[in-house]
Amino acid sequence: MVWKTQRNIFIAFFRSGILGFGGGPSTIPLVHKEVVQQFKWMNDEEFADVLALGNTLPGPIATKMAGYIGYRVGGWLGLVNAILATILPTVFFLIGLIGILSTYRDSRIVIGMTQAITPVVGIMMIVLCYQFLKQSKKGLGSIQTILLTVISIIAYSLLNIHPAIVIGILIIYDLTKGEAKKKDSIKSEEKKQKVPS
């Protein structure tokens, strides 16, 4: 069982690493597909939490997510396994292809390949954003989801506030909102218990 879990961790993150052209953000939809849809180690909400927290920390998102998810699924060995599976494709490709790409970087074929991949990565990111918005709508409702989305876009795009700060503020908002809901729920329960039958 442990061997199968470790093998699946490696496969999931190796596939994400090998197909995630362009770096960390392009691997996020691939990791989501492996972790949430393929192996079902997390649900959409848990994945969104990991992504949000990972974005507030320094360093590449792909390795942070791999480390956390690997640890959660397979302990310390899973952590190391997932990180290695994430970085090995990049290392191998970099070593193997750097000479070829630098020699042929002006080739129309190489330029065309890199230009063709860009819209595909963009579509993958749009699909993931749509899934997150649907998930937010379930938890927050339509109005609050639209309001927080608009505020986030304004803060990030127009006010040039760093995304980690925006995410951090949203996390604090969610935590305080969650505490307020808990208190309201407790008060409601206490009122129900005080009312004589």
Q: What is the pLDDT along the chain (197 residues), one digit of tens a residue?
A: 689 999 999 999 999 888 776 666 778 888 999 999 999 999 988 998 898 888 878 888 888 999 999 999 999 999 999 999 999 888 887 777 777 777 877 888 878 877 887 788 788 888 888 888 888 888 778 888 888 889 888 998 999 998 888 888 888 887 887 666 666 666 666 666 665 55
- What pTM, to 2 d.p., does this model score? 0.58
pLDDT of residue 96: 77
By CB atoms closer than 10 A (0-12, 13-18, 19+), residue 12 is: buried
- Which residues lie closer than 8 Å to 39 by C-beta, 6 or more apart? 8, 12
pLDDT of residue 23: 65
Dihedrals φ, ψ of 159, to 5°? -95, -5
What are the boundaries of each domain within the chain? 2-133, 141-191
CA distance 102 to 115: 16
CA distance 24 to 29: 10
pLDDT of residue 35: 94
Q: Retrieve residue 196's tokens.
A: 């004589």
pLDDT of residue 54: 85
CA distance 55 to 64: 9
Specify whether the CB–CB gap between 44 and 135 falls below 8 A.
yes
pLDDT of residue 5: 94
CA distance 5 to 119: 34
